[in-house]
Structure 1
């Protein structure tokens, strides 16, 4: 969804070839990443995952740093950023890589992927400095090739009012206290 010139809600299926619609609690139109990055290569995984955005990925065999440019609504707005990773042994090497995730020139997370069937997510609540946000995958070892399966940006309206422009909140963990089912 957009207001003005940039997005307030931007779910991206990294490596996806067509825009997809997912219906969870509401209608969601997942964009392909072709308009947000010019580097890397797309691949469709040989296995079918229940979340369609995890069936594709974009990997970056060249370069030290590869960045997505996200055109968001405006500067100084709070956004929840969520990056998803599902290795799926796409390269047939059985060696899940490790690399860094950055946002606007700052380190967001050290990403460690695995052979597990579980997706790995990194979340960050961040106040944008400009209307265009840079989310980068940064190679830390020559033998490891960074990849990404999904990237999401959601405007957070009127939440965490005590945050200032120099604060970011990183999700350390999420605990289910009594729900009957798991929530992802």
Structure 2
């Protein structure tokens, strides 16, 4: 029993340390969050999220359908979607000569009531990785829920080219639709991620 108590105590301490992590240099953006609600600490992670209001001047704000809310963490409940224009870009204030791990979260959540799988491109760059653009490629509307950047130590992922490209893409859905291909490409110095779906 004593051994069990020690294990539980150590687990609780580790959990507390993870939640109290140093967030220096972190950029955690809850896209579509109204400024009065910003900033806040996410209950699941303890990370501090801010509104995207000062990072982009285009798009409209929305929220996923209520049916999906119980399955999604707080930062992904809201979104910014872009019905107008072809290319809509976030301008981020990053530290020069610092590599970042970039995580973008897209939760459609039937926010528009159309129940149609979206298809759009995501461009990273070309200005020293300070812009992240959502690009309309057809009739569906680009959107984004969460944008996160984490600074990496200088010795982590040292590369010849100075930037890491596409690492992996995870598609999580209970839908019968599958991703057919993920295309990587270069376009004027920016990295393009494009996915297509098939029934």
The verdict on a shared fold, with TM-score over 0.5 as the criterion, is yes
Give, in whole Å, the separation in 2 of the partners of 1:173 and 1:35.
Answer: 28
Aligned in 2, Cα 1:158/1:24: closer, same or farther, shift over 3 Å? farther
2:31 is equivalent to residue 11 of structure 1 = no
Give, in whole Å, the separation in 2 of the partners of 1:100 and 1:13.
Answer: 20
1:137 counterpart residue number = 134
Aligned match of 2:110 in 75, 89, 94? 89
* Deviation >6 Å, runs of 4+: none
Describe how 1:138-157 pairs up with structure 2 within 5 A: 138-141=135-138, 143-157=139-153
Q: Report the RMSD for the aligned CA atoms in angstroms.
A: 2.0
Q: Which has the larger radius of gyration?
A: 2
Aligned residues: 142
Q: Give how far 1:53 is off.
A: 1.0
Q: Which protein has the bigger strand share?
A: 1
TM-score under structure 2 normalisation? 0.65
TM-score under structure 1 normalisation? 0.70
Q: Unaligned regions of 5+ residues in structure 2, if any? A: 1-22, 171-199
2:57 counterpart residue number = 38
Give, in whole Å, the separation in 2 of the partners of 1:166 and 1:159.
Answer: 12
Q: Give how far 1:161 is off.
A: 4.8
Secondary structure in 1 aligned to 2:75?
A: helix
1:100 counterpart residue number = 121
Q: Unaligned regions of 5+ residues in structure 1, if any? A: 3-7, 106-127, 175-184
